[in-house]
């Protein structure tokens, strides 16, 4: 433990640590990406390249702030928000094709959009993802109806839904990337399970 802490102190004081700090993208970089076009790296490549080429973190921060100012009028335009929502939520692959770029490999054929079976796997993955979202929304509607009728609230359900809602808000201001949803699949799965339970229980109560 002592050695580990001592090594951390030495690294923090080394030129390598300073260089890494300078090369790290500032917070403003990710906010700037999310403020223009559909919020993705691909549609903001010119800005991203300029920011990455800048020397020093302050220079990167200044470029990012200028980019946010340039695009502030379009920040909440409906077409842009729809485009960004599509970029974040229109696939159940969660960015996996970005890591499968070697044609001929089994993983490429399964998980890349241009793979032999990519279209079929995409339909299954996206269908599963959308089913979770639909049942999650149903759980909210049916849970609210149950509460109005005097039933006891299931607090776990609104807590999970609030978490998902917070994630959606976060993705609307941050860089748009379908891959960001991957770590939140447990919450989405739980929300979907509660939705299925509420749906069938609601039909039984009738």
User: What is the length of the chain?
Assistant: 206
What value does the CA radius of gyration of the chain take, rounded to a whole number of Å? 22
CA–CA distance, 41 with 88 (Å, rounded to integer): 12
List the domain boundaries for the chain. 2-74, 78-205
pTM, rounded to two decimals: 0.65
By mean pLDDT, which of 55-59, 85-89, 95-99, 160-164 is the weakest? Answer: 95-99
What backbone torsions phi and psi does residue 164 show, to the nearest 5 degrees? -65, -40
Q: Quick one: pLDDT at residue 63? A: 92
Greatest Cα-to-Cα distance within the chain, rounded to the nearest angstrom: 69
**Confidence grade of residue 106 (pLDDT, cut at 50, 70, 90):** confident
CA–CA distance, 122 with 111 (Å, rounded to integer): 7
Residue, of 13 and 49, whose pLDDT is higher: 49
100 and 111 Cβ atoms separated by less than 8 Å? yes
């Amino acid at each position: 433990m002592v050695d580990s802490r001592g090594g951390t102190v030495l690294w923090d004081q080394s030129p390598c640590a300073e260089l890494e700090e300078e090369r790290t993208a500032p917070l403003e970089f990710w906010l700037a990406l999310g403020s223009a076009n559909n919020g993705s790296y691909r549609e903001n490549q010119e800005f991203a390249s300029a920011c990455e080429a800048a020397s020093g973190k302050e220079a990167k921060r200044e470029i990012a702030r200028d980019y946010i100012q340039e695009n502030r009028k379009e920040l909440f335009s409906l077409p842009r928000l729809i485009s960004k929502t599509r970029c974040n939520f229109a696939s159940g692959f969660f960015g996996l094709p970005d890591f499968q770029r070697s044609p001929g490999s089994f993983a490429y054929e399964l998980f890349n959009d241009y793979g032999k079976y990519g279209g079929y796997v995409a339909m299954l993955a996206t269908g599963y993802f959308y089913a979770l979202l639909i049942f999650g929304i149903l759980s909210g509607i049916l849970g609210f109806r149950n509460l109005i009728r005097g039933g006891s609230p299931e607090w776990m359900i609104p807590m999970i839904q609030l978490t998902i809602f917070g994630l959606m808000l976060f993705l609307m201001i941050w860089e748009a990337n379908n891959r960001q949803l991957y770590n939140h699949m447990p919450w989405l799965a739980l929300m979907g399970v509660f939705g299925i339970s509420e749906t069938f229980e609601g039909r039984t109560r009738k």
